[in-house]
Amino acid sequence: MNPIGKAIWYIESHFRGDVTLDDVADAAGVSRYHLSRAFPATVGQSLTRYMRGRRLSEAARALSDGAEDILTLALDTGYGSHEAFTRAFGDHFGRTPEAVRAQGLAGLHLQEPLRMDDTTDLRLAGPSIETHRAFRVVGLSERYAMHDIAGIPAQWQRFVPHMLTLIGNKPRQTTYGICTNTDDSGMDYMCGIEVPNFDGVPNELARLSIAEHLYAHFAHSGHITQIKRMWQTVLNEWLPSSGYELAQAPDFERYGTDFNPMRGEGLLEIFVPVKLKS
């Protein structure tokens, strides 16, 4: 994975926090100078402008959806005061936050997530074919069009505070990214953790029960941005000649405790529901 792809992934996963150029450069595995030169040469704008645009665009969406407390939104977006947020928002969009809340997003040039690496030349070891037990997951669920899944890292970022509340003082948990209701229009993607039952789960979190099923289980050590390439390799290369076909059941990614969520690196696992070809 090239450094710019890693940088984009890191920004999309952390832009709501206090992220510095040094943080992004470290995650990308290059020097600050290298990144400050390579990012605009590749993307067409500076890293700082891209990150500011993403923060303010997410804030604009929240305002359009009716966010009431602008100070809270300002703090959540990384600004220290209502005034600083309003000034940055006006400089970027030419409108006040109050105007966007009243009038909506029409005419605004929002900074959408940049696409990351689409290369498909990934070598995968053959899978194990196994029956995965039934389990329950709670988390956040969003609907995505198939051509527009670049917002998934930000969804994971939104889930982190909920996850920390759920696990309390327990060690880091295995997490799951689960795809359901997949059709021509898109898919539902849920990021979450396993629970023994749904007792006491906050109302704002989605609940999902996954039945026991036969899966092809693939594992690969690398950067999280290789997940898309893993799926493309499985669906376009392995599956057609495997003797199996896709089954109508959830497919999912699993990130164990050895996966480093800050750097986006570690063991990547995907589970593809299959059945023998008839």
Beta strands in 158-247 (DSSP E): 175-183, 186-195, 206-210, 213-223, 244-246
Cα–chain-centroid distance for residue 255?
13
Res 126: pLDDT: 87
Cβ atoms of 176 and 252 closer than 8 Å: yes
Cβ atoms of 153 and 225 closer than 8 Å: no
Res 111: pLDDT: 92
Hunting for tokens 């498909």 — which residue is that?
A: 120
Encoded tokens for 218: 């693939």
Using DSSP's 3-state secondary structure scheme, residue 101 falls into: helix
Question: What is the Cβ-side half-sphere exposure of residue 28, based on CA atoms within 13 angstroms?
Answer: 28
SS3 content of the chain, % helix, strand, coil (to 5): 40, 25, 35
Using DSSP's 3-state secondary structure scheme, residue 139 falls into: strand
**Which residues are within 8 A (CB) of 219 and not within 5 positions of it... i.e. 6 or more apart?**
125, 267, 268, 269
Encoded tokens for 183: 């059709």
Res 120: pLDDT: 54
Domains and CATH numbers, the chain: 3-103 (1.10.10.60), 128-276 (3.20.80.10)
Q: What is the largest CA-CA distance in the chain?
A: 65
Low-confidence ranges of the chain (pLDDT < 50): none
Res 68: pLDDT: 80
Res 233: pLDDT: 87
Cβ atoms of 53 and 92 closer than 8 Å: yes
Q: pTM here?
A: 0.76
Tell the burial category of 86 from Cβ atoms under 10 Å away from its Cβ (0-12, 13-18, 19+).
middle
Cα–chain-centroid distance for residue 131?
27
Residue type, 49: R
Q: How many CB atoms lie within 10 A of CB 135?
A: 15
**Planar angle of CA 268, 52, 38, nearest 5 degrees:** 65
Q: How many CB atoms lie within 10 A of CB 171?
A: 6
Hunting for tokens 């499985």 — which residue is that?
A: 234
Res 221: pLDDT: 93
* Distance of alpha carbon 139 from alpha carbon 141, whole angstroms: 7
* Distance of alpha carbon 15 from alpha carbon 29, whole angstroms: 18
Res 45: pLDDT: 87
Mean per-residue pLDDT of the chain: 90
